[in-house]
């Protein structure tokens, strides 16, 4: 009985060891980074796979078990049979190169191994794969590069040479001799010749210089291309690369070995490309690129010597008519003849180029003065203007010529050509067959204007513009009834700049629109700010003529008001001028009527300085007139001005308009205006324009002059006698 128990215990321990071994194997199986899988020998179905297999083939363990690699399209049935036969024949399969398809369709090149194993009493194969896809791609790339290198070497025409530096002779192999026009059997040093043979004298210095640099520092390669012209052989260009391989006992170079490469074809192609890049295909003249190179060199020389030159732009006046009537081929032959005449009429120091179509450029150097430049250009015009015989037809041709003169015009090459083109355009506009000079003073003014506009745009973007307000006062009550918005440029370098110095710069440009946007937004923002401070009043903004004439002017104003809902339309007053309003009175009246309907006020500024009739004036929907300061300034001592002021006030009353006097500079002017019936004034007697940020504080502290307060207590409004 004891023996039976011992056997049972032995079996139990054996079973436990086997189970532990299986657990260890399973752990190892699942932890190995090599893709592993068990497949049944008979069906090829998976019994198990490890995580590395799942990751490599992109199939989960659950998807694999119970299915074969054929089922999963990892490889074909024929491949499975072939691999199984090889494994059975050798007892196993070791590192067999194979292709597996992943779930996503990617082909992997692997080294597949198969070992027989029994799993749960079932004959199986343990399959392991090693991914060599990257290595195979690299091997393929290396093979391609080796094949390309082999092809390059076999196709290269390379000759070997041996240069005896002491003797000054050189020889080489058969290919080298063939390059020099000798029979190919000349392949040893017995046929060595002086190294200068066939080398042109101009290149000897270059070769000796490169050789000297190599001798001084062998790390600097001897690599130089020169042209050879051997007797009874075509001229060739050879690239020669060599290295000193022997020095004598005194350190003097004795022998150099090297190779020669025939680069004749490449050199000829380079010359062809250079010619195509620098010369006009039709006329053979230099093109714009070569002209600019020559012009740049001529400008440097003229600047150094103090001489002058002229650059002219020539446009043929009637080539289009020739092309239309006789065809482009005839037109091309005409261009060739024109090019020849221009070349023949020039001095050797001058240059002519064809720019495009029927446009040419001429550079005249070493000129005495502007007069001599114009004299030579007129000679060119006469040469071009002589009759042409084309297919038996006699043609007359003229040219429009514009030019610029150095050193009066000191621009760069591109700009000089553009200046000459501008002058040519003026000659063309004047009727053609004319010579015009570029006006550098006018161009400087234009360039200055462009720079000023750019700087003003920067001022808008950088917040350098500021809103200033000039208050309007009711003389009789002393009350601040409104203000006129005025712009100031707070320049970081030049201080405060008045609008008369910069607004004219943007007339008729996109900047004018941008400035109008800024001004309207600035006014409405300040009205909102004043309202938050408990100050509600009307602010006037000047509307430029271009903005007023816009088809959507009323909608433009209304859209700004919509963006500022805290602003009441009655707080906005639009100041327009007579001339701007009467340019298209029907349109202006329609737009202003739309705005007044919502409460926006309209003032006619500088009244009395325009040329409007009362009939047109009556058609304008306005609320008030602004009396121009020129009449206000003179009314105290000029009876005519006082009469005009009185008349305008009466006119305003008859039309039912309010009236505001501008430019009031004294207390007495305010009193007189009030007695005449114009109590609203603005001017320096009240305050000069002030920063909008200080306006609210100023209003709180404002007190009317004593004389105005006394005049307000009077009840009589009889006008003063005219002086």
Taken in order of first residue, the domains within the chain and their CATH numbers are 29-135 (3.30.450.20), 155-269 (3.30.450.20), 279-438 (3.30.70.270), 453-702 (3.20.20.450)
Which residue matches tokens 């816009």? Answer: 550
Q: Give a three-class secondary structure readout of 594-663.
A: HHHCCCCEEEEEEECCCCCCHHHHHHCCCCEEEECHHHHHHCCCCHHHHHHHHHHHHHHHHHCCEEEECC
Report CA torsion sign: 534, 537, 542, 543: positive
The backbone torsions φ and ψ at residue 63, rounded to the nearest 5 degrees and listed phi first, read -70, -30
CA angle 511, 517, 519 (to 5 degrees): 100
Residues 361, 291 contacting (CB under 8 angstroms): yes
List the one residue out of 404, 405, 399 whose CA is nearest residue 434.
399
Give the start-end residues of each E strand in 248-319: 253-262, 308-316
Alpha carbons 401 and 361: distance in angstroms, whole number: 9
Low-confidence ranges of the chain (pLDDT < 70): 1-22, 25, 149-157, 183-191, 608-616, 712-723
Which residue matches tokens 């490309």? Answer: 273
Per-residue pLDDT reduced to its tens digit, 310-326: 999 999 988 888 888 88
Residue 119, helix vs strand vs coil: strand
Number of helical (H) and strand (E) elements in the chain, helices listed first: 25, 28
Alpha carbons 374 and 402: distance in angstroms, whole number: 10
Residue 508, helix vs strand vs coil: coil
Residues 34, 47 contacting (CB under 8 angstroms): no
Compute the 3-state secondary structure of the chain and give helix, strand, coil in percent, each to the nearest 5.
45, 25, 30
The backbone torsions φ and ψ at residue 447, rounded to the nearest 5 degrees and listed phi first, read -65, -40
Residues 361, 352 contacting (CB under 8 angstroms): yes
CA angle 34, 36, 37 (to 5 degrees): 170
> In the chain, what's the furthest Cα-to-Cα distance?
157
Report CA torsion sign: 292, 296, 297, 302: positive
Q: Any bridge partners for residue 490, and if so which?
A: 496
Q: Which long-range contacts (CB under 8 A, 24 or more apart) does 613-621 make?
A: 614/651, 616/582, 616/585, 617/578, 617/655, 618/655, 619/585, 619/589, 620/581, 620/585, 620/588, 620/589, 620/592, 621/589, 621/592, 621/593, 621/596
Alpha carbons 510 and 522: distance in angstroms, whole number: 19
- First-to-last alpha carbon distance for the chain, in angstroms, is 157
Residue 300, helix vs strand vs coil: helix
pLDDT (0 to 100) of residue 331: 87
Residue 235, helix vs strand vs coil: coil
Alpha carbons 513 and 524: distance in angstroms, whole number: 17
Q: How many CB atoms lie within 10 A of CB 389?
A: 9
pLDDT (0 to 100) of residue 723: 29
Per-residue pLDDT reduced to its tens digit, 184-226: 555 454 567 888 877 877 788 888 889 899 988 888 889 998 8
Buried b (16+ CB within 10 A) or exposed e, 405-435: bbeebebebeebbbbbbbbbeebbeeeebbb
Residues 426, 402 contacting (CB under 8 angstroms): yes
Residues 291, 363 contacting (CB under 8 angstroms): yes
What lies within 8 Å, CB to CB, of 452 at 6+ separation is 502, 505
Structure tokens at 255: 């022998």
List the one residue out of 350, 450, 351, 440 whose CA is nearest residue 403.
440
Alpha carbons 136 and 108: distance in angstroms, whole number: 10
What's the predicted TM-score (pTM) here?
0.52
Alpha carbons 370 and 272: distance in angstroms, whole number: 38
Structure tokens at 459: 């001022």
pLDDT (0 to 100) of residue 184: 58
Alpha carbons 145 and 684: distance in angstroms, whole number: 89
Rg (CA), the chain: 49
């Amino acid at each position: 009985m004891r023996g039976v128990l011992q056997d049972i215990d032995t079996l139990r321990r054996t079973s436990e060891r086997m189970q532990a071994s299986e657990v260890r194997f399973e752990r190892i199986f699942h932890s190995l980074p090599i893709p592993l899988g068990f497949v049944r020998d008979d069906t090829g179905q998976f019994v198990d796979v490890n995580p590395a297999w799942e990751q490599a083939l992109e199939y989960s363990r659950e998807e694999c078990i119970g299915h074969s690699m054929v089922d999963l399209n990892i490889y074909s049935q024929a491949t499975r049979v072939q691999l199984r036969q090889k494994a059975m024949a050798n007892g196993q399969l070791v590192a067999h190169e194979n292709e597996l398809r992943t779930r996503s369709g990617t082909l992997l090149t692997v080294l597949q191994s198969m070992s027989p194993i029994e799993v749960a009493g079932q004959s199986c194969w343990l399959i392991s794969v090693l991914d060599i896809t990257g290595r195979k791609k690299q091997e393929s790339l290396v093979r391609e590069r080796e094949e390309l290198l082999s092809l390059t070497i076999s196709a290269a025409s390379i000759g070997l040479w041996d240069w005896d530096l002491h003797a000054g002779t050189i020889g080489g192999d058969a290919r080298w001799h063939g390059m020099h026009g000798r029979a190919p059997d000349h392949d040893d040093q017995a046929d060595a010749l002086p190294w200068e043979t066939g080398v042109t004298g101009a290149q000897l210095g270059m070769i000796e210089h490169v050789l000297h640099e190599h001798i001084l520092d062998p790390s600097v390669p001897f690599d130089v291309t020169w042209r050879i012209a051997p007797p009874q052989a075509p001229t060739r260009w050879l690239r020669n690369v060599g290295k000193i391989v022997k020095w004598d006992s005194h350190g003097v170079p004795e022998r150099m070995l090297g190779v020669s490469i025939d680069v004749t074809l490449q050199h000829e192609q380079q010359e062809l490309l250079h010619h195509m890049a620098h010369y006009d295909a039709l006329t053979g003249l230099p093109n714009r690129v070569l002209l600019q190179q020559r012009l740049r060199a001529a400008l440097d020389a003229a600047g150094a010597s103090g001489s002058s030159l002229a650059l002219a732009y020539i446009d043929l006046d009637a080539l289009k008519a020739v092309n239309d009537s006789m065809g482009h081929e005839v037109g091309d032959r005409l261009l060739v003849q024109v090019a020849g005449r221009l070349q023949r009429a020039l001095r050797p120091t001058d240059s002519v180029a064809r720019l495009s179509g029927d446009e040419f450029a001429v550079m005249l150097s070493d000129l005495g003065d502007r007069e001599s430049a114009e004299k030579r250009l007129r000679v060119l015009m006469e040469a071009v203007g002589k009759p042409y015989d084309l297919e038996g037809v006699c043609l007359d041709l003229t040219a429009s010529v514009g030019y610029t003169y150095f050193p009066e015009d000191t621009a760069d090459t591109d700009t000089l050509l553009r200046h000459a083109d501008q002058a040519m355009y003026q000659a063309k506009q004047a009727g053609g067959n004319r010579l015009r000079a570029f006006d550098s003073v006018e161009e400087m003014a234009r360039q200055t204007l462009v720079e000023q506009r750019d700087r003003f745009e920067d001022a808008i973007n950088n917040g350098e513009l500021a809103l200033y307000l000039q208050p309007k006062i009711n003389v009789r009550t002393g009350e601040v009834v409104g203000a006129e918005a005025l712009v100031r440029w707070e320049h970081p370098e030049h201080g405060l700049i008045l609008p008369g110095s910069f607004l004219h710069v943007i007339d008729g440009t996109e900047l004018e629109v941008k400035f109008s946007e800024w001004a309207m937004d600035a006014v409405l923002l300040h009205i909102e700010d004043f309202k938050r401070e408990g100050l509600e009043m009307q602010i006037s903004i000047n509307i430029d003529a271009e903005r007023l004439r816009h088809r959507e002017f009323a909608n433009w104003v209304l859209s700004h008001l919509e963006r500022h809902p805290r602003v009441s339309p009655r707080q906005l007053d639009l100041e327009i001028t007579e001339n701007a309003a009467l340019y298209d009175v029907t349109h202006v009246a329609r737009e202003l009527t739309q705005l007044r309907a919502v409460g926006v006020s309209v003032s006619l500024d500088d009244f009395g300085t325009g040329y409007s009739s009362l009939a047109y004036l009556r058609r304008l929907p306005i609320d008030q007139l602004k009396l121009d300061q020129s009449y206000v300034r003179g009314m105290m001592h000029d009876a005519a001005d006082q009469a005009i002021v009185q008349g305008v006030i009466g006119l305003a009353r008859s039309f039912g308009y309010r009236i505001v006097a501008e430019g009031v500079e004294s207390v007495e002017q305010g009193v007189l205006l009030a007695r005449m019936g114009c109590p609203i004034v603005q001017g320096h007697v009240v305050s000069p324009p002030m920063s909008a940020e200080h306006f609210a504080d100023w209003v709180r502290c404002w007190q009317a002059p004593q004389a105005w307060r006394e005049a307000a207590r009077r009840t009589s409004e009889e006008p003063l006698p005219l002086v």
